[in-house]
Chains A and B, each alone.
Chain A
C-alpha cells in the first residue's frame, strides 16, 4: 500500500516553480526597489480590481516629511490595532524626535524599533511574500525611498465563537470545540498541553488558496520519522485549493480505495490533546474546525473522550457495546437473509413460525426485500441529514414510521425485517466516529449480497475478506488493527477494554516511540515485542 502511495506521489508532485511569480509579476525583479511610487504601482497592478485592498497613503513628520503607505485587506485586519497602534503612533511623530538627518533604512528601523506599537513586526523585501501577507491579513507598511517594507501583525476578523461541536457531543467533559481560525485552534491545544515539547510546524497548501496547514506533535513521544513522513506527504499535495481537512486526507492516506477511514478527524481539542500524548500527529487546516489525526487505528474510531471521563466499568461496557454494534450493524440484516432463505433449521422453533407467517404474501425473495428496505433506509437517512433540523426530523419520522408501516401493511416487507434493518441502522450510529458508519453501510450491502447467494458461508467469506483487508491496511506505517493484529497484551488495556487510568502506565504501542511511560516509574510492564518491527 505504501508503494501505491509513492506511485501516486511521484505522479502528482511537482516542485514549486515560482507559481506566484508567473501570476503576479508583470516584469522586472521581484523585490522592492527604492522607487516608492513604483513599488505602490506594482502592488496596485497586482491587486487590480480588488476593491477590498486599501492603500492608505500619508505623510510622516520625521527629519523631513516622508511619504508612507499602509496596505491591508479590509475586513481581515483588526481596526483597533490599525487605528490606535499603527496610525496614531505614526501620525503622532513630530519633527523634534528626529533632529538629525537619517537614511531611509534608518528611518524604517527607528519606526520599527521605537514608534510602531505592534506586537509582531517583520522586515521584508520580497514582493511575493508581501502579497501573501496582505492576503492573510497583515498590514504592510512602506516608506518613501526605502526598499524594505514592514509587515505588521494586525490580523483580526470576525470569527465564530468557540462552542461545543454538534457532531461530537459529550455529557461529561469539556464543551469547547475547534473553530475555523487556525490560531484559535492551536491555542486550544496549547492550553491543554503546556509543554515546550509540543511542537507546531506550518506548511502551506493550495496553489491559489495558500492555506496554512499546521502539524502538531509532542517531541519525544512522536517518532521522528513519522513527523518527517507526514511533512513529506503534506508537501506532495498539489491542489489549487485546500478548504477542508478532507482535501489533504485523500492525499496523505495510504489506501485510497479502502472503505475504511485512515485518518481520524475530530472537532474536540481534548481528543486531539489525548492523541498527541499517544504519539500521534495532529494536522490542522486553517479554515475548518475539523482536525485530522494520524496515524489512525481502527480501535480509535470506537473510542470517545467520554470513555475516559466516565467510570472505568462503564467505559469498558460502552466499548464492548460498540464492538458488538459494529458486528450487528454489518451482519444483522445479512444474517436474517441467510437464515430465512438458507438455514431455516437454525431459526429457533418459536420464532420460525412467526417469521414464516410474516413472509407469506411478500412478493420478493428475502434478498431483494432486504436490499429494498436498506435502500429505503439510506434514502431516508440521506434526505434527512441535509435538511435543516426540524424538517430533517420530520423526514426521519415520516420515513421511519410511514414507509416502514405501510411497507409492512402493503406486504412489501415483513415486519421482522423492518425491525432488523432498523437495529442494524441504529447500531451503525453508535460508533462515535461518523465517517465509520459509511464504511459499515458499505460492508453491509456486500454482506447482504453474499448472504443471499451463499447463506452463512457467504457471510463468513465476506467477513474473512474484510478481516484480510483490515490486516493489509496500514496508516503511516502503523498497522490499522494495531493492538489486535499484531496482538499486544499491553494495548488491550485501551482498545477493547478501558482499564482504570492508573493502570494505563504505558502509552499504546507505536514503533520507535521513545517516551513510552505515561507515569513516573511505570516502566516495566511493557512488552519488548512490538509485533513486527
Chain B
C-alpha cells in the first residue's frame, strides 16, 4: 500500500514538473485583433493574409503592427506570417475579419473553416467586406490613433445601434449560410475620401458563400426593416433645402416586421408587414409647427418612402442578386414543407410575389409642438 501511495505521489509530481505543455506567456503573443483577406497581387491563385495586432511594448513607434503574407489557405498564411514574428500568433482575440471585395466574390466559406474550428475565437467576431484592399486598411491613420480594428468594430457597433448599418458577426454568417432558405450578408465598408475614416453604411450580399453585390445607405436600412431590426434609426423625407420646401425626419423607436407566406396556385406569395413607431425629430419647414395635419402628412410620406425603399431592395435581391438574404425561404420550409421539398427555392425566389405593407405611426412629436 505504501508503495502504491508513493507511486501516486511521484506520478503527481512528475505531472506537475514536466507540465506546462500549453502555457504561452501573454507578452510572447501576437494578439491578433484584426485579419484581412485579399487576392494576392503577384499570383492571383494565392490569398494574402494580413494580421494586425496591437503592440504591447512600451514606447513602440507604432501602436499596432500589421504583417502580411500569402498562401493557399488561412493556416498557410498564418504560418508564413509566423516566420517573420518572434511572437506566437494568438487568434483568440480576433475582433474583425475584413475581406476584400474581389476575394469575397470568389467564395469565402472554405477559408472560414479554420476560424470556425478554433474554439478560442469568439462568435461575436465581426465580418466585413471592404471596397478596397483589406491589406491597406490596417495602415489607416485614424485621427484618434485608435487601433484600426478597434475603430472598425466600434464604428460598426455604434452604427448598427442607430440602425444605419448591420454589424454582422460570425454567428450570423454561419447561421445564414448553413441553414437552407437564407443567404448571408456581411457588413460592407468603404474608405472615406481622405483615407482616414470608413463609411460603414453598407452590406455585402452573398449568394451561398460568394459575394454578388452590395446594398448601400438607405438600402441597408430597408433591409433592416425587412428582417425586423428596426428598433432605432431615422428616415428623412425631404424635397430640398431651399426656402419654401421642407423635410421631415422620422425617428423610429420601435417596430418590427412580420412575414406570412402562402402558396396560391402553386406560386409562392410573401406577405411582408413592416411596422414602425416613433416620433418626429426634425421638421425643417418655414413655419415649424407640427399639428395633426403635418403628422398625418408625415406618416403618409414616411410610409410611402419606406415602402418604396423596401420594395426596391426586395426587387434588387430578387432580380439583381437572386439571393434570398431576408430568409423568406425559412418560412416556406417551416410552413409549406411539401412545397419546399418539391421546389428549388433558389430558383423560385426571384419569381416569388412579395406584398409589402408598411405601417408608420408617429406617437410623439418631440418637446415642441
Contacts and interface: CB of A to CB of B under 8 A. Distances in A.
Interface of A: 340-347, 349, 352-353, 355-357, 359-360, 362, 365-367, 449-450, 452-455
Contacts of A455: 22-23
A359 B56 CA distance: 9
A353 B54 contact: yes
Given A340-B25, A345-B90, A453 B19 contact: yes
B31 A352 contact: yes
In this complex, the member of A352, A365, A367 whose beta carbon has the largest number of chain B beta carbons within 10 angstroms is A352
Contact of B26 (A344, A349, A450): A344
A352 B257 CA distance: 40
Interface in B82-113: 90-93, 95
Contact of B23 (A356, A357, A360, A365): A365
Contacts of A343: 92
Contact of B120 (A345, A360, A450): A345
B270 to A, nearest CB: 40
Contacts of A359: 25-27, 56
- What does DSSP make chain A's interface, helix, strand, loop or mixed? helix
Contact of B95 (A347, A349, A360, A454): A349
A467 B141 CA distance: 54
Contact of B31 (A356, A362, A366, A454): A356
Interface string B23-41: 1111101010000000000
A341 B29 CA distance: 10
B25 A357 contact: no
B132 interface: no
Contact of B22 (A342, A352, A355, A367): A342
A352 B22 CA distance: 18
B20 A344 contact: no
Contact of A352 (B20, B93, B120): B93
27 contacts: A340-B25, A341-B24, A344-B24, A344-B26, A344-B31, A345-B120, A345-B121, A346-B92, A349-B93, A349-B95, A352-B93, A353-B31, A353-B54, A355-B26, A356-B27, A356-B31, A356-B56, A359-B25, A359-B56, A360-B56, A360-B57, A365-B20, A366-B26, A450-B16, A452-B19, A452-B20, A453-B23
Contacts, number: 74
Given A344-B29, A345-B90, A357 B58 contact: yes
B6 interface: no
B23 A345 contact: no
Nearest to B95: A349
**Contact-residue size bin, chain B (C-beta under 8 Å from the other chain):** 20 to 34
A370 to B, nearest CB: 12
Contacts of B25: 340-341, 359, 365-366
Interface in B116-168: 120-122
Given A356-B31, A362-B27, 10 more contacts: A341-B25, A341-B26, A344-B93, A349-B95, A352-B93, A355-B26, A356-B56, A357-B56, A366-B23, A455-B23
A454 B20 CA distance: 7
Contacts of A452: 19-20, 23
A518 B95 CA distance: 60
Contacts of A449: 16
Contacts of B93: 344-345, 349, 352
B92 A356 contact: no
B88 to A, nearest CB: 10
A359 B28 CA distance: 9
B124 to A, nearest CB: 10
Nearest to B27: A359
Nearest to B24: A341
A519 B26 CA distance: 59
A453 B58 contact: no
Nearest to B153: A349
Nearest to A360: B27
A79 to B, nearest CB: 61
A372 to B, nearest CB: 15
B120 to A, nearest CB: 4
Nearest to A453: B19
Contacts of A454: 19, 22
A345 B57 contact: no
B15 interface: yes
Contacts of A349: 93, 95
A345 to B, nearest CB: 2
A24 B56 CA distance: 79
Contacts of A365: 20, 23, 25
Nearest to B118: A345
B3 to A, nearest CB: 19
Given A352-B31, A356-B31, A449-B16, A342 B56 contact: no
Contacts of B16: 449-450, 453
Q: Top 6 nearest A-B pairs by Cβ distance? A: A345-B92, A453-B19, A359-B27, A345-B120, A341-B23, A356-B56
A342 B23 contact: yes
A455 B120 CA distance: 14
A342 to B, nearest CB: 6
B15 A340 contact: no
Contacts of B26: 340-341, 344, 347, 352, 355-356, 359, 366
Contacts of B122: 345
Given A340-B25, A345-B92, A345-B93, A360 B58 contact: yes
B27 to A, nearest CB: 4
A254 to B, nearest CB: 20
A449 B15 CA distance: 11
Given A353-B56, A357-B58, A344 B23 contact: no
Contacts of B24: 341-342, 344
Nearest to B119: A345
A288 B93 CA distance: 59
Contacts of A362: 27
Contacts of A360: 27, 56-58
Interface string B248-264: 00000000000000000
A344 B58 CA distance: 20
Contacts of B29: 344, 356
A360 B31 CA distance: 14
Contacts of A367: 20, 23
A353 B31 CA distance: 9
A355 B90 CA distance: 15
A357 B120 CA distance: 21
In this complex, the member of A342, A345, A355, A455 whose beta carbon has the largest number of chain B beta carbons within 10 angstroms is A345
